[in-house]
Amino acid sequence: MDTSLQPVTTAQPASEEHGHPDFRLFGLATFLVADGMTFAGFFAAYLTFRAVNPLPEGAIYELELLLPTINTVLLLVSSFTFHRAGTACRSGRMQTSRRWLLLSIALGIAFLAGQMVEYFSLPFGLTDNLFASTFYALTGFHGLHVTLGVICILIVWFQARPGGSISQDSHFGLEAAELYWHFVDGIWVILYGILYLL
């Protein structure tokens, strides 16, 4: 007769017994879904404000497009360079990988610098009107993500040095940073569309 409970006696390999496969990337991806929902909330708020709350006399929605467009390109290229870094690492070319990482860092910093330039050239401040506040909240929150990302890539770059903890066979840190960086870039593309183009 088929019993409902069966003790399983087949021994498992020792590595499975006292450890388990690495789910950290899965965990990070789940976290990024949550993080994405924070942005979704901000976007929803912005779009509603825009639809129903008229701005005071003289305030404008139109923003200078040149700088943010360059910034968008910078971020997209940095996603590509990071991808190259990942591929290089996985095939064991650590020196190449580190060079691509450095390039990604440079692009990230260039993006942040561009953002600063934009902030200082805008005709409105944080509390001027609803649009201004939302603009700074959205881009600022995203900028924080980019800053954190740049710091992460710096750490990864350092750990990928010869003899460091990141190598061809052990590169969780690099993959996590890469996933995060692609996420931050993806959010920027949406943000650019909603904030600047719409």
Partner 1 sequence: MTVANPLELEPGLQPQGWLRYLSFSLDHKVIGIQYLVCGFLFYLVGGALAGVIRTELASPMSDFVGRDTYNEVLTLHGTIMIFLWIVPVVNGAFGNYLIPFYVGARDMAFPRLNAVAFWLIPPAGLLLISSYFLAGAASQSGWTAYPPLSLTTPAAGQIVWILSVLLLGGSSIFGGINFIATVLKLRRPGLKLMQLPMFCWAMLGTSILVVLATPVLAGTLVMLSFDIIAHTGFFNPSLGGNVVVYQHLFWFYSHPAVYIMVLPAFGLVSEILPVHARKPLFGYTTMVYSIMAIVVLGLVVWAHHMFTSGTPPWMRLFFTIATSFIAVPTGIKFFNWLATLWGGKIALNSAVLFSCAFIFNFVFGGITGVALAQVPFDIHVHDTYFVVGHFHYIVYGGSVFVIFASLYHWYPKFTGRLLNEDLGRLHFVLTFIGFNLCFAPQHWLGLNGMPRRVAEYDPAFTTWNQVSSVGALLMAISTLPLLINVVVTAFRGPVAGDNPWNALTPEWLTSSPPPVENWIGEAPLVTEPYGYGEHPGGFDLDRISGRDLWSSGKS
Residues making contact with partner 1 (CB under 8 A): 1, 3-9, 11-12, 15-16, 18-24, 26-27, 30-31, 33-42, 44-45, 48-49, 52-53, 55-56, 126-127, 129-130, 133-134, 137, 141, 170, 172
Residues 6 or more apart in contact with residue 191 via CB below 8 angstroms:
39, 43, 138, 139, 142
Beta carbons of 142 and 102 less than 8 angstroms apart? no
The residue behind tokens 């902030």 is 119
Minimum Å gap between C-beta 47 and partner 1 is 10
CB atoms near residue 125 (< 10 Å): 11
The residue behind tokens 């069966």 is 6
Minimum Å gap between C-beta 77 and partner 1 is 29
Minimum Å gap between C-beta 105 and partner 1 is 26
Rounded Cα gap, residues 83 and 104, in angstroms: 10
Nearer to partner 1, 22 or 64 (CB): 22
Nearer to partner 1, 51 or 66 (CB): 51
Helix, strand or coil, per DSSP, at residue 95: helix
Minimum Å gap between C-beta 56 and partner 1 is 7
Which pair of tokens denotes residue 2? Answer: 């088929």
Nearer to partner 1, 49 or 80 (CB): 49
Nearer to partner 1, 107 or 188 (CB): 188
